[in-house]
Structure 1
Amino acid sequence: MQAPTVSVVTVTFNSKEYIRACLGSVAENDSRVISIEHIVVDNGSRDGSAALVRSEFPRAIVIENPVNRGFTAANNQGQALARGRYVVFLNPDTVVPRGTFQTMADTMDRHADLGVLAPRLVDEHGRWSLDMGHRSPTAWTVINSFMLINRLSHDVFPGVLRTKDVRGLEDCDWACGACLMVRQEVAKAFPWREFGSGDDMDYCLQIKEAGWRVAVTGDAEITHFAGRSWKVARPATLVGTASNVARYLAQRHGRMHAVVGIVGMRLGLRARSVVHRLLYHLTHDPERLYKANKTRQFLAHDDFSVFRKVKRPTPTSYPD
């Protein structure tokens, strides 16, 4: 059997609400020019996600885990079966327009040093997403991001996340794991590691540090319904994002660098919480209250605990 051009790996956990649209859009990318196989790894869903895939998408390869093994372990399960020249790690809450994977594969073909390529992300209203990744966490980029200094200038004050839309092919340190196209030999050499919230950042950084380019392209686009799972996420999941940034700074850059970054991060979060709560009282907009409460959940964790003990990261899982 001839190997496909692209192997798509999607991890599901109670994803029935949007998995049909995701798999349907991937199937529409299959053509005479580019062949696609879709591998779905279900992490013990209780809503019939796996049954829906088997029933409506019989060509898909389905792996059913009896329990939730976590995002990284499930990605590695899917990658182990992938036969394509390129492996795409794709979230279930996405829709892929026709021709997207062809454009991305062509870009990878033209740039042999590209290890990871991500598309432009837009939400369901067509608005480009800040969550496309950008620079690795340092005291400088963390302070710029959490204190919103990077809003002044994307280039002069780079942050962990982007503050401007992407045009053409732009190199970055990491990209959002909602959709990552990875060269097959790179995917085999660099399995996903348990990092906790921020697995995509850790995955891209280990590949970039090995000498491969990581980039995002504005020539390909997918819709990512970002926030659907995060709005019902447990506080521990939300707190994990800030604490993992702190842990990354401590491990990669040392104690003093981490202290400066953590202080800047917490000052920025504190200011955001106050502003969101004030705006909620003025406008009664529930979104402001949600953001204020989420920010308080970030602050609830003692980020300085990274200096007192080394804790094994908790595998990322979709919230119940």
Structure 2
Amino acid sequence: MELSVIILNYNAKHFLNLCLKSVLAATQDLDAEIIVADNHSQDGSTELVKQHFPQVKLLAFDQNHGFSKGNNLAVEQASGEYLCILNPDTVVPEQVFVECLAFARSLSGVEVKASQPQSHDHKKLGFLGVRLMDGSGTFLPESKRHIPTPEVSRQKILGNDSNYYFNKVGEFREDAVDILVGAFMFCKANVYKECGGFDNRYFMYGEDIDLSYTALQKGFQNYYLGSQTVLHFKGESTVKDKVYLKRFYGAMELFYDKYFKRNRLEKWLVKAAAKLFVLVKSSTSEKVQEVQNLKQIFVSETGWQGTENLITRSLESVEEESSSELIFDTSSYSFSEILTFIKEHRRKFKYRFYAENTSTILGSDDANARGAVKIMK
């Protein structure tokens, strides 16, 4: 088998539904399997998979194992030569896995029919990441990062992120980078296992940094493929509250203690900066500016069949509209077409997706905001 796509889910039912629709479209011409590992969700996620996606392999855990252990357990059940660790709150274009496979094989000199060049004078592939954008079409800079040494992280906490993100590689370029994000991590299965998988001591946050760095330590090279854009709603699965901040900076302390020998003063400085950051950020509410009087437009070739009267426009004609909420009909257009439109019209509109199998409209307007879900009756 070529590929195993592993999606670890926890209470993200509606976003998981959309994610699976896009992954099925992206794997239809591949020898691939899709594994949903569910961390004991209570929102009907497992019932959704059983009812609407019988071709998906479901691992329903009886407890929440966290991100690291949950993914590791799923990898043990995977049969693919390659793996893709994927968040449930993502939408992928149809060509993404073909292009990732082509890039990975080009490093080994294996010829594959795809748009990627067929030879690279690079080190052996560790992990491969892609360009991520949020629900508004805004690029997520954490798609490619430098190694977060204690000094780099102190500067990031204090507001200087110039050495945190891998800015010398353009967002649409392909090149070697240090650290990738766990929302989309592509690799050979034997590389994942040689690196030991995610460290189970991380319950949530930091495990992608740890695994990326482990790959570098073992002589692999991580790469960023900016030609491929994946939508990561992000805010749906990450609530930036005080608990999140404590977990995140607790994970970073674990990372430093694991890889960097620090004197007492340095440890104190990192811990003090993290505590100060938690205090400041948790006392500041992050609100998304709401745009009033938005016109709702159903972007479709067939028209709206729901209970509300919506204006229908084709994808080609919708650019003429303004101050609108666009609801994409995923049965009329490919995910690649929709994601390209969002990428090229960043923040011009509010974007929503309509999933006809569950009659839901969903999206997210900001990386720090919870996703919007509307169930049509």
Rg comparison, structure with higher value: 2
2:25 alignment counterpart = 28
- Whole-angstrom CA distance in 1 between matches of 2:224 and 2:166: 11
1:236 Cα deviation after fit:
2.9
2:11 to 14, 30, 33: 14
In the aligned structure 1, how far is the partner of 2:137 from the partner of 2:180? 19
Counterpart among 191, 206, 222 of residue 230 in structure 2: 222
CA gap of 1:273–1:185, structure 2 versus 1, over 3 A, is closer
**C-alpha distance in structure 2 between counterparts of 1:77 and 1:240, whole Å:** 22
Per-residue CA distance 1:150-176 (angstroms, 9 max, x = gap) = 3xxx4xxx11x4558523223222211
Does structure 2 retain, via aligned residues, the 8 Å contact 1:103–1:219? no
Alignment-derived partner of residue 120 in structure 2: none
Contact 1:137 1:248 in 2 (8 A): no
Conserved? CA contact 2:143–2:181, under 8 Å = yes
The alpha-carbon deviation at position 267 of structure 1 amounts to 5.9
Listed as ranges, the gaps of 5+ residues in structure 1 are: 289-320
Q: Taking structure 1 as reference, are residues 135 and 259 closer, same or farther at Cα in structure 2, changes over 3 Å only?
A: farther
1:129 aligns to 2:135 (yes or no): no
CA offsets, 1:245-285, max 9 Å, x none?
23332442312443344455556667x659x95xx8xxxx8
Structure 1 position 36, deviation (Å):
2.0
Inter-partner Cα distance in structure 1 for 2:125 and 2:145:
16
Q: State the structure with bigger RCO (CA 8 A, min sep 6), 1 or 2.
A: 1
**TM-score normalised over the length of structure 1:** 0.76
Question: Which has a greater percent of helix?
Answer: 1
**CA separation of 1:10/1:273 partners in 2, compared to 1, >3 Å: closer, same or farther?**
closer
The alpha carbon displacement at 1:219 in A equals 1.3
Distance in 2, Cα, partners of 1:46 & 1:40 = 15
The alignment status of 1:236 with 2:243, answered yes or no, reads: yes
Equivalent in the alignment of 1:115: 126
Which of 80, 84, 87 is equivalent to 1:84? 80
Structure with bigger strand share is 2
Amino acid at match of 1:83: S
1:51 pairs with 47, 50, 55, which one?
47
Deviation, 1:108, is 0.7
Residue by residue over 1:45-99, the C-alpha shift from the partner in whole angstroms, topping out at 9 and shown as x without a partner, is 1111111112111111111111212221211121112111210000000000110
Paired-residue identity, %: 24
Instruction: Show the counterpart of 2:154.
Output: 143
Aligned partner of 2:268 in structure 1 is: 259
Do the aligned residues in 2 keep the contact of 1:147 with 1:265 (CA within 8 Å)? no
The unaligned stretches of length 5 or more in structure 2 are: 109-123, 290-377
Task: State the SS of the aligned residue for 1:14.
Answer: coil
Q: Which residue of 2 aligns with 1:307?
A: none
Report SS of the residue matched to 2:131. Answer: strand
Shift of 1:44: 1.0
Task: Indicate which of 65, 68, 85 corresponds to 2:61.
Answer: 65
**1:286 aligns to 2:283 (yes or no):** no
What is the number of equivalent residue pairs in this alignment? 268
- The corresponding residue for 1:316 is none
Cα distance change on mapping 1:66 and 1:268 into 2, 3 Å: closer
2:182 maps to a residue whose letter is G
